[in-house]
Amino acid sequence: MLILGIFGFGLLLGWIANLILGGGSRPQDWGPLLIAGFSGSFVGGLLISLLSGDGFNLRPSGIIGSILGAVIVLAGVNWFRNRNA
């Protein structure tokens, strides 16, 4: 059950990042969104939570950091894709 929750949270963060970047609400490819959600959540959420002093607890600062991290990772993935196309 925990693994399904992690996948769902990663997809949700990737989808939110896609909306922020103007990718639309119905993306064609969910793979980059999942990768952006996982990596952005790990890096951004952990970094912001530790910098704000919340530690490893689930707080709004960690969720905001997760979304910002996912936006940065997804923007990098989109830039790399467009550069190679």
What is the four-CA torsion angle of 4, 67, 18, 3, rounded to 10 degrees? -10
The answer for 10, left when phi > 0, alpha when psi is -120 to 50, beta otherwise, is: alpha
Separation of first and last alpha carbons in the chain: 38
Query: pTM value?
Result: 0.78
14-43 pLDDT tens trace = 888 889 988 877 887 888 888 888 888 888
What is the C-alpha radius of gyration for the chain, rounded to an integer number of angstroms? 13
For the chain, the domains span 32-85
Percent of the chain with pLDDT over 70: 91
CA nearest neighbour of 72 among 14, 26, 6, 5: 14
